[in-house]
């Protein structure tokens, strides 16, 4: 019976997608090469996995309209993480444990077990005790059609963890055992809880993997835990940690005690629109992450989710990044090499010396492009370098490299008449001869990578096609820029 209810809810949602997808496709603000859903609202990446020769991306999904609401798991597959084929919705709310009208099937992860594709997700419901969250299982023989386990839920919140703060299971396998980390809160402090299982069905609590003493907020959403060399990395999206919304920690993990001791922490992205990254392995061993390019209403800088709901959709993923460890043990987040296959119209200029006048840069059509350069710091004495992107009329987005105050900031107060705010990060210049900059622009977003991909900003802007100018300016002295490369980027997912 419950199988039929899920199928009915999936069919109803598919019908809605079919009715609207062509209209939504024509939306002016649709991204050209970032991953999006066909219609409606998308948030967190879920169940990212390379399975039977293709990348599977599942996603938090409300197919009906461009706002968060009754969450399904959307599903798409790709060979290169650029060109996508949409598959039927994988999970729809259907059971007493996952049918909260403002909730449904929340985030989780995927793993291969017993020849099947297993999903572990958070069911949300309200049977009189408030917003209740539990961990649940679904599986599939063909990787397309899923069945929920009849013994769900497989885990309920432990003593001391409020029922509404227990979610987002991320599963992995080590030797013959399955492990799972999930987000929780205890006495108003965030925790990552570690569980283990022999069969993906019976789970026992192992230890508190890591926790906040207050400095890292009251709840960790979408925790993820994975090895990098002989170290382990914990990533999470903290609630209540100010502007820090995507934190990583590097440290040592002991499978004997289930305890993680971190000695390095950093921010994956300082922009306004980068949240809930999830990691997965490529067949060649690369550790990749994808994230949701937007933010929540509880964040200090939130304005709203943007104007795209008028076009019947909202949300895309940031470009997929490869996680690499640097010599000093911090992490770098490098755009995947697959993106190079989209490059067209390559241009190169070896050297540009900026003194007082603005210089124009041409990169593709000025909307969908890639721009790379280095700032030669030894031949630079200016206070700032300002790069104006998506300029047109009086509108523009300013990317500022402030050498005097050692900061990078991206100002979107004049971007489009809608966006607001300045994202900021500290810029480490000590001992550096040059500073590398790498930018990806798409219809509704700008992603800036700098300092060997360790200092990154992802911001959405909703600029029209007529905003396609790029200018660069030195303020208060001279800036020398070298190795300028620009590319247009082919459309692959509209």
Q: Which of 44, 98, 269, 411 is catalytic?
A: 44
Please give the helix or strand (H or E) that residue 459 lies within, else none.
Answer: strand 455-460
User: How far apart are CB 68 and ligand FRU at their closest, in Å?
Assistant: 6
Instruction: Tell me whether residue 134 or residue 415 sits nearer to ligand FRU (CB atom).
Output: 134
User: How far apart are CB 332 and ligand FRU at their closest, in Å?
Assistant: 24
Instruction: Tell me whether residue 58 or residue 106 sits nearer to ligand FRU (CB atom).
Output: 106
Other CB atoms closer than 10 Å to residue 376's CB: what's the count?
17
User: How far apart are CB 414 and ligand FRU at their closest, in Å?
Assistant: 29
Instruction: Tell me whether residue 46 or residue 380 sits nearer to ligand FRU (CB atom).
Output: 46
Instruction: Tell me whether residue 295 or residue 391 sits nearer to ligand FRU (CB atom).
Output: 295
Applying the rule CB under 6 A, the residues between 317 and 336 that interact with ligand FRU are none
468-494 CB burial, b ≥16 within 10 A, e <16: bbbebbbbebebbbeebebbbbeebbe
CA 94 to chain centre: 27
Query: Mapping DSSP to helix (H, G, I), strand (E, B) and coil, where does residue 342 land?
Result: helix
Contact with ligand FRU (CB under 6 A) among 193, 276, 319, 386? 276
Is the Cβ–Cβ distance between 423 and 399 less than 8 Å? no
Instruction: Quote the tokens at residue 108.
Output: 């989780």
Instruction: Tell me whether residue 275 or residue 403 sits nearer to ligand FRU (CB atom).
Output: 275
CA distances from 180 to 76, 86, 121, 239, 366 (A): 24, 28, 11, 20, 44
Applying the rule CB under 6 A, the residues between 422 and 461 that interact with ligand FRU are none
Applying the rule CB under 6 A, the residues between 17 and 36 that interact with ligand FRU are none
Return the closest-CA partner of residue 29 out of 230, 441, 306, 308: 308
Applying the rule CB under 6 A, the residues between 211 and 240 that interact with ligand FRU are 221-222
User: How far apart are CB 44 and ligand FRU at their closest, in Å?
Assistant: 5
Contact with ligand FRU (CB under 6 A) among 56, 148, 167, 438? 167
CA distances from 40 to 20, 46, 309, 314 (A): 9, 17, 8, 6
User: How far apart are CB 402 and ligand FRU at their closest, in Å?
Assistant: 31
Beta bridge partners of 316: 36
User: How far apart are CB 239 and ligand FRU at their closest, in Å?
Assistant: 8
Please indicate whether residue 44 is annotated as part of the active site.
yes
Count the residues of the shown chain that bind ligand FRU, applying the rule CB under 6 A: 13
> Is 122 near ligand FRU (CB under 6 A)?
yes
Return the closest-CA partner of residue 351 out of 485, 174, 477, 234: 485
Other CB atoms closer than 10 Å to residue 12's CB: what's the count?
13
User: How far apart are CB 175 and ligand FRU at their closest, in Å?
Assistant: 29
**In angstroms, rounded to a whole number, what is the distance separating the alpha carbons of residues 268 and 289?**
10
List own/partner pairs for 194-200 with CB under 8 A and 24 or more apart: 194/258, 195/155, 196/258, 200/111, 200/113, 200/114, 200/118, 200/120, 200/137, 200/171
Instruction: Tell me whether residue 275 or residue 487 sits nearer to ligand FRU (CB atom).
Output: 275
Return the closest-CA partner of residue 260 out of 194, 332, 215, 326: 194
Contact with ligand FRU (CB under 6 A) among 55, 106, 118, 139? 106
Instruction: Tell me whether residue 139 or residue 275 sits nearer to ligand FRU (CB atom).
Output: 275
Which x/- pattern over 33-72 shows residues binding ligand FRU (rule: CB under 6 A)? ----------xx---------------x----------x-
Other CB atoms closer than 10 Å to residue 304's CB: what's the count?
10
Give the residue numbers annotated as catalytic, written as ranges. 44
Residue ranges that bind ligand FRU, judged by CB under 6 A: 43-44, 60, 71, 106-107, 122, 167-168, 221-222, 275-276
């Amino acid at each position: 019976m419950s199988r039929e209810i899920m199928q009915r809810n999936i069919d109803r949602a598919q019908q809605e997608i079919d009715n609207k997808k062509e209209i939504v496709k024509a939306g002016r603000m649709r991204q050209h090469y970032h991953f999006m859903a066909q219609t409606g609202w998308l948030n967190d990446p879920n169940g990212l996995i390379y399975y039977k020769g293709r990348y599977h991306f599942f996603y938090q999904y409300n197919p009906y309209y461009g706002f968060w609401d009754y969450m399904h798991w959307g599903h798409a597959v790709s060979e290169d993480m650029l060109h996508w084929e949409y598959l039927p919705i994988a999970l729809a709310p259907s059971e007493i444990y996952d049918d909260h009208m403002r909730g449904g099937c929340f985030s989780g992860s995927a793993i291969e077990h017993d020849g099947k594709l297993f999903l572990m997700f958070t069911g949300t419901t309200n049977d009189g005790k408030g917003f209740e969250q539990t961990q649940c299982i679904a599986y599939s023989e063909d990787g397309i059609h899923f069945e929920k386990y009849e013994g769900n839920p497989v885990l309920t919140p432990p003593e001391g963890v409020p029922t509404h703060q227990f979610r987002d299971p991320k599963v992995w396998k080590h030797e013959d055992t399955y492990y799972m980390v999930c987000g929780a809160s205890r006495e108003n402090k965030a925790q990552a809880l570690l569980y283990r299982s022999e069969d993906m069905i019976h789970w026992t609590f192992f230890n508190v993997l890591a926790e906040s003493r207050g400095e890292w907020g009251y709840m960790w959403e979408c925790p993820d835990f994975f090895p990098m060399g002989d170290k382990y990395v914990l990533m999470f999206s903290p609630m209540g940690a100010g502007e820090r919304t995507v934190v990583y920690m590097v440290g040592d993990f002991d499978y004997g005690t289930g305890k993680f001791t971190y000695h390095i922490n950093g921010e994956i992205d300082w922009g306004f629109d980068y949240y809930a990254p999830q990691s997965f392995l490529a067949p060649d061993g690369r550790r990749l992450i994808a994230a949701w390019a937007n933010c929540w209403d509880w964040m200090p800088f939130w304005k709203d989710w943007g104007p795209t709901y008028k076009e019947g959709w909202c949300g895309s993923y940031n470009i997929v990044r490869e996680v690499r460890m640097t010599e000093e043990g911090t992490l770098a987040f490098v755009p995947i090499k697959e993106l190079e296959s989209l490059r067209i119209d390559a241009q190169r200029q070896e050297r540009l010396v900026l003194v007082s006048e603005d210089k124009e840069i041409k990169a593709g059509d000025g909307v969908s492009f890639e721009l790379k350069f280095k700032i030669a710091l030894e031949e630079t004495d200016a206070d700032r370098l300002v790069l104006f992107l998506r300029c047109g009329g009086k509108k523009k987005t300013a990317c500022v490299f402030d050498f005097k105050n050692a900061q990078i900031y991206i100002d979107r107060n004049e971007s489009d008449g809608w966006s607001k705010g300045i994202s900021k990060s500290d810029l480490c210049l000590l001992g550096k001869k040059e500073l590398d900059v790498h930018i990806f622009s798409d219809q509704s977003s700008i992603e800036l990578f700098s300092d060997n991909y360790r200092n990154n900003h992802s911001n959405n802007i909703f600029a029209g096609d007529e905003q396609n100018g790029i200018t660069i300016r030195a303020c208060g002295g001279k800036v020398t820029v070298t190795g300028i490369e620009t590319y247009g980027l082919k459309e692959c997912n509209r």
